Amino acid sequence: MKIIDLEHWPRREIYEHYQGEEWPFYAMSFPVDVTELKAYTKRHGLSFYYSLIFLVTKSMDEVENFRYRDRNGTIILHDHQVPSFTDMRPGEELFHITDLEAGDDMAAFCQAAREKSYAQTSFVDHEGPWDSDQRIEFSSEPWLPMTSVTHDRRFDPSDCIPRVAWGRYEKQHDGRLRLSLALDLNHRMVDGIHVGRFYEALNRRIAALAEEP
């Protein structure tokens, strides 16, 4: 973690502009081609959901602005972020929220996520050796295709935790699988150009799976 010197922070004017807004949040969604991800998870017996959480987390970590947090005027930059995801055990209707470090191996994360999630007995488990604002919050609606979503949040304009959600992927006329990825972000830290860089990083990581056995 690094504390940012506001006096020399290139983003200071933009931050101060949105610091004056009561609601600096914005949402956007865009299609993501997940054909190669689905094929890869099927080959290796991995969870599609956990795998996409891993890839989104690593792609967001590539873009510095997603790792900024606002602590009542003190700006910090995390080294990395921690997935905090909704999950549901087979045969159940009640969901729970699990936090887990992504690590550097997608298969290992998928296994650890399933083990921790299925063993969890509380609704929320935010306990861990990470800061409370280090999280990325994930949710999924695999029962239906989704184009947009709103997220619950307390009225705190300093909240810079990214929210990510998606629905069911669908086969297109060209045979490719696509889903809509929805982001809820704080304009104090993240602009459209940073979303674009995240989008490129995520597409690159998914496409690279086609080259792996």
What CATH number should be reported for the domain holding residue 71?
3.30.559.10
The count of domains in the chain is: 1
- pTM of the entire structure? 0.97
- pLDDT reading at 154 higher than 90: no
196 in any annotated domain: yes
- In whole angstroms, give the CA distance from residue 169 to residue 79: 31
Whether residue 17 lies inside any domain: the answer is no
Q: Say if residue 96's pLDDT is above 90.
A: yes
CA distances in angstroms from 79 to 18, 145, 208, listed in the order given: 24, 33, 24
- Average pLDDT of the residues of the chain: 96
Note whether residue 66 is domain-resident.
Answer: yes
Q: How confident is the model at residue 46 (pLDDT cuts 50, 70, 90)?
A: very high
Residue 20 belongs to a domain: no
Does any domain span residue 61?
Answer: yes
Is there a domain that residue 6 lies in? no
**Structural domain containing residue 59:** 27-211
Q: Cβ of 26: how many Cβ atoms within 10 Å?
A: 15
pLDDT tops 90 at residue 35: yes
Give 50's pLDDT tier (boundaries 50, 70, 90): very high
- CA–chain centroid gap for 76, Å, is 19
Least confident interval from 41-55, 115-129, 143-157, 168-182: 143-157
Q: Residue 58's closest CA among 66, 48, 46?
A: 66
Give the mean pLDDT of 72-80: 97
d(Cα 148, Cα 30) in Å, to the nearest integer? 9
Cα gap 136→85, rounded to integer Å = 8
Report the alpha-carbon angle 161-180-51, nearest 5: 70
Q: Which residues contact 52 (CB under 8 A, 6 or more apart)?
A: 34, 37, 166
pLDDT of residue 140: 95
**What pLDDT is stored for residue 37 in this prediction?**
98
Q: Given a cut of 90, is residue 127 above it in pLDDT? A: no
pLDDT at 64: 98
Helix axes 35-44, 48-62, angle to 10 degrees: 120
pLDDT at 135: 97
pLDDT at residue 80 greater than cutoff 90: yes
Within a domain: 78:
yes
Residue 143 lies in a domain: yes
